[in-house]
Amino acid sequence: MGLFWNTLFWAFFFMMGFVATVELIADVGPQLVKRYTGATVRAVWLVVVYAGGLMVMIRMLRLFGSTYTWTANALRNAMMIYLAVKLKDCRAYAAFLLVTFISYWPFWNWNAWATAGFAATLLVAVVVNRHQSWWTGHPWRLHAVSFSMTVLFWLFDMASYAYPASETGLVIGCGYLVLLAAHGYDNLLAYRRRRLRDLVYDTQHDVLTHAFSRTKFNADLARWLPLRVSGQAPAIHLVMVDLDHFKSVNDTYGHLAGDTVLQQFTALWQNYLETVAFPCDFYRTGGEEFSLIVAGGARSHQVEALVAAFMSQLRQYEFDSDGQTIVIAMSAGITSVRCNDKTIDDVIARADAQLYAAKRAGRDRLHSDG
């Protein structure tokens, strides 16, 4: 039993670290490579480089006599089986197996039968990888293939290294338990990643309309302000929008109808912004108040034309709420980020002043200080 517990200990903690590092590489690896080298590399190939490097290191430890064959084979087998159902790129997985095969040089002192048997086990792994989406589609299939590959790899090791059958049986159980733990940890990390993504989305988006939130608006404008003031970014414009007489919509048709109008109004803006020439972000910054940040160096008259074109569409649009047709208009105030602006409040105050100048002038119009 000492062999079982020793192998379980080293294989378990090795695979926990391996799984976590693979997830970390998948999350941030390509961005870091892009930042420091300018190269665009897919995450799967970074994983292959990492896993292949580990295979070579394990082989070096064996050559120097720093680890037992049981431990080395436990680590190598666990990596190969885990990645067989993890990597979605068949060519990348095949490249990893090629590195693994080469790392076994001199191939059991040039034993042709052992080398051929190892190649055959790797071909089985390739077949499993090609159908990995099916294996991972249901838990029992994942468990079945993990156990089957564990048995296959360790039976090969038993034949190649003349391991006793009883001890091999113990290590097969150990290897399967380690793979169960690795897949469980993988699922836990995936769940945490989904929850974090949902949390980020909820923080950055308005719950009702799914426009960007006021929190993100403040953060984005605060990010653009110093870039524009220092001349690192071209012209940035802020457009503040308010739905005219929206209270009467709630009073006449009900608040649910008002919510529907806000949702459809947001969708109308988002669809429209996909057609414009400048990068724009649309935010809900109040009840019926929205904001638009126009970047990309647009000039004032271009931003005015952009907003005016949307207002023209809006006048022709009929909002629908449970069969009721609702027509609304909007007012807009436009300003640009200036070199003497100290805080985002300076920009917001100017845009707000232009918005209320439009309302005082009769609504359904835009005002700009450009």
Kindly report the number of other CB atoms within 10 A of residue 225's CB atom: 20
pTM above 0.85, yes or no: no
User: Please, are residues 41 and 30 in contact by the beta-carbon 8 Å criterion?
Assistant: yes
If we measure between CA atoms, which residue out of 325, 316, 307 comes closest to residue 365? 307
236-265: per-residue pLDDT in tens? Answer: 999 999 999 999 999 999 999 999 999 999
Q: What is the pLDDT of residue 110?
A: 86
Measured CA to CA, the distance from residue 252 to residue 368 in angstroms comes to 32
Measured CA to CA, the distance from residue 333 to residue 338 in angstroms comes to 16
DSSP 8-state code for residue 205: B
End-to-end Cα separation, the chain, in angstroms: 81
Which domains occur in the chain, in start order? Answer: 2-204 (no CATH), 214-368 (3.30.70.270)
Mean pLDDT computed over every residue of the chain: 93
Q: What is the pLDDT of residue 17?
A: 96
Q: What is the pLDDT of residue 1?
A: 66
Measured CA to CA, the distance from residue 11 to residue 6 in angstroms comes to 9
With residue 319 as reference, give the H or E element that holds it.
Answer: strand 319-321
With residue 117 as reference, give the H or E element that holds it.
Answer: helix 112-130
Q: What is the pLDDT along the chain (370 residues), one digit of tens a residue?
A: 677 788 889 999 999 999 999 999 999 999 999 989 989 999 999 999 999 999 999 988 887 776 788 899 999 999 999 999 999 999 999 999 999 999 888 877 888 998 999 999 999 999 999 999 999 999 999 999 999 999 999 999 999 989 999 999 999 999 999 999 999 999 999 999 999 989 989 999 999 999 999 999 999 999 999 999 999 999 999 999 999 999 999 999 999 999 999 999 999 999 999 999 999 999 999 999 999 999 999 999 999 999 999 999 999 999 988 888 999 999 999 999 999 999 999 999 999 999 999 999 999 999 998 7
| E-strand stretches of 193-340 | 237-243, 280-284, 289-294, 319-321, 324-326, 330-336
Q: Please provide residue 202's backbone torsions phi and psi, each rounded to the nearest 5 degrees.
A: -65, -35
96-146: per-residue pLDDT in tens? Answer: 999 999 988 887 788 899 899 999 999 999 999 999 999 999 999 999 999
- As given in the structure block, the two tokens for residue 83 are 């990645």
If we measure between CA atoms, which residue out of 137, 287, 299, 111 comes closest to residue 208? 287
Enumerate residues 6+ apart whose C-beta is below 8 A from 289.
Answer: 240, 241, 242
Burial 144-165 (b: 16+ CB within 10 A, else e): ebbbebbebbbbbbbebeebee
Kindly report the number of other CB atoms within 10 A of residue 368's CB atom: 20
Measured CA to CA, the distance from residue 292 to residue 173 in angstroms comes to 60
